[in-house]
Structure 1
Amino acid sequence: MIKIMIVEDDEVIASGLEYALQAEGFETVLCTSVSSGKQAIEQETFDLCLLDITLPDGTGYELCKRIREKSDAPVIFLTALEDEVNVVMGLDMGADDYITKPFRLRELISRIHSVLRRYQKPQEDLKGYTIGHIRINRQEAKVYKNNLEVALTALEYKLLLTFIQNEGQVLSRAQLLEGIWDVAGDFVNDNTLTVYIKRIRDKLEEDPQKPKIIKTVRGLGYKLGD
């Protein structure tokens, strides 16, 4: 599961962020100051960091600098400051994006997904990927079940890759639709997504009624295997 550190001292904003991100299937760790943020950085590994710039005991820039010393985890700044100098300063320090308060949670989540996609392993790394009795050759864009090729449509194949690229993460229906948007355009909506997942299960699962490859996580979405 993707772990996100939130550093925000406004209790209302912080609780809203935690709720929204957890609903998307992310694990969150909330800090309210530079000192608690630094402590979290030393103790845990994060896949992405959301940093408020103005904090009670310093600035998010200090945390960004420390994060960059330890890892290449993407950083998104949250701030009420609209001055262009602050935007440039944050980006120069290694931030990946910058969003000004007040913002819509849906917009922030979209930006998070966009940043995480840029940090994903190259598609070539998926060559030879296997899960159970299924093998995928990304270079040839072919899928095999028990060493026999399975014919998937372009949309089914892209949907399967979306699961693989987010292995271990619970994906909401909105995330899955976003992952296949460039293939599906307006032709797939929330209702028909269920049909495509069923088709993939019928083609790949040994027992589609008891799926082991694409599992349903009740109330949250779907995930790839265990």
Structure 2
Amino acid sequence: MADSHTRLLLAEPDPATAAQFMAAADHMGIRTDWCRDGAETLLAVGAEVPTVLILAAHTDNVDAARVVATIRSRSDVPILVGAAKSGDERIVREVLAAGASAVVARPYDITTIAPFAGITALSLAEDSVVTAGPIRVNPSGYETRVGNREVQLTQREFELLVYLIKRRGHVASQSEISLAVWGHSAETNTVAVHVKRLREKLGSDTQHGQFIRTIRGAGYRLAPSLCA
């Protein structure tokens, strides 16, 4: 569960996108306030600096780059800019030059945002048991089982597994894993080594094959059949 003082500020012009994100954040116990345009965002940050600002690449009244530059001149609050996979290259360059902390995919994934607020994959899992096929993980007891077999994992391996399970078969990039598990950008080799060790410990079976799959050039995911 998130700390009670954690507060996200979402600057998002689309009500449906905002509602989806806020519902996911609320489920994780994270407070989120919503602003509809750039001007409203500047007023909100001036009144109370959030833990993290999530800012759409396209904002009304005041454009995203100006919002970032104005806030950055007064605060080091993490500013994440949500952009589409293509078509926003110019805006991405502008917001990064203005001082944005990172650019994230929009629509948003709360597991990508949360590490900037100091919330790890393990805390997102709360105390509930999570499962994927024969894999069963109990965060409260740091217990992992594959079928009837108990698997001993390090803390990083454990949090990596929790994160991949919560992705429900979606590909997680190296940078997303770094932020979720380490809370900051980690070296590519560090992530690869931990994935390799976790893969070896979990093993495979005849129904699902190898439990953790490498998607060349994109990242890692659980076998889709585990999340069906």
Matched, 1:161 2:154: no
Q: Distance in 2 between matches of 1:130 and 1:52?
A: 40
Equivalent pairs counted in the alignment come to 161
What whole-Å deviation, never above 9, does each CA across 1:100-145 have from its counterpart, x for those lacking one? 97435871348935259489745212x2x22111111212101111
Identical pairs, percent: 24
Name the residue aligned to 1:134.
135
Secondary structure in 1 aligned to 2:141? coil
For structure 1, the residue ranges without an aligned partner over 5 or more in a row are 8-33, 62-73, 88-95
Match of 1:213 among 187, 191, 211: 211
For structure 2, the residue ranges without an aligned partner over 5 or more in a row are 1-9, 26-33, 43-51, 56-63, 82-93, 105-111
Match of 1:80 among 27, 52, 66: 66
Amino acid at match of 2:66: A
Is the 2:173–2:219 contact (alpha carbons within 8 Å) kept by the matching residues of 1?
yes
Q: Distance in 2 between matches of 1:162 and 1:148?
A: 21
Tell me the TM-score normalized by structure 1: 0.50
Name the residue aligned to 1:27.
none
Name the residue aligned to 1:204.
202
Tell me the TM-score normalized by structure 2: 0.50
Offset of residue 173 of structure 1: 0.8
Q: Distance in 1 between matches of 2:211 and 2:100?
A: 29
Work out which of the two has the higher radius of gyration on C-alpha atoms and give 1 or 2: 1
Q: Distance in 2 between matches of 1:41 and 1:191?
A: 34
Name the residue aligned to 2:48.
none
Over the aligned positions, Cα root-mean-square deviation in angstroms equals 4.6
Name the residue aligned to 2:102.
108
Name the residue aligned to 2:148.
147
Q: Distance in 1 between matches of 2:131 and 2:96?
A: 40
Name the residue aligned to 1:53.
38
